[in-house]
Amino acid sequence: GTTGAGGALGYWGSFYSNQNQIATSTTVAYPITLNNTDPDSNGVSVISNSQITFANSGVYNIEFSAQADRVSGSGTDSIDIWFRKNGTDIPDSNTVVTVSGGAVAAKTVAAWNYMLELNAGDYVQLIWRTSDTNLELIYEGASTSPTRPAVPSVIVTAHQVMYTQLGPTG
């Protein structure tokens, strides 16, 4: 028979941070850090606390969400978030998120996905900068009444979407 449709290898990783991400300057780009990994992640890992590293070639969908808030003061300011591949900014991957309001009352979630063709050993980083050092990517612990889980400052998942294997033949 004819060759069947391919199947994805199923490589994936899931990561998050339970730490606040703080910027001490408005003129510096900061790597977003990830200090927790789902133990079932397969073929995708985090190196040096920010480099999402791919053990296998393929096309990957990288999704993230980041919770921003103002820690003091008030106003309307912005956070830029973009992707880097192997230490180089990826053109046209930036998005600007506006955060408005007063301290601890301006929560804004940035969330999107990005598709990339990657080679084995490549790494991707999420990078951010802020127009005001009073804006942070914030972690919130678990809550009660009712019981609710913690809110990571950043959640990142990456999964392979490229068909790379041939199906069975008859």
pLDDT for 24-72, tens place per residue?
A: 999 999 999 999 999 999 999 999 999 999 999 999 999 999 999 999 9
Q: What is the pLDDT of residue 4?
A: 63
pLDDT score for 10 = 84
Q: What is the pLDDT of residues 81-139, one digit of tens each?
A: 999 999 999 999 999 999 999 998 899 999 999 999 999 999 999 999 999 999 999 99
Per-residue confidence band for 16, with pLDDT thresholds at 50, 70 and 90:
very high
Q: What's the rounded Cα separation, in Å, for the pair 100 and 106?
A: 6
- Report pLDDT for 159: 95
Q: How many angstroms separate the CA atoms of 23 and 133, rounded?
A: 6
Confidence bin at 13 (pLDDT 50/70/90): very high
Quick one: which of 56, 40, 55 has its CA closest to 165?
A: 56
| Confidence label for 166 from pLDDT (cuts 50, 70 and 90) | low
Q: What is the pTM of this model?
A: 0.89
DSSP E strands, 5-122: 12-17, 30-31, 36-37, 44-47, 51-54, 58-70, 74-85, 88-89, 95-102, 108-118
Per the CB < 8 A criterion, the answer to whether 20 and 136 are in contact is: yes
pLDDT on residue 104:
84
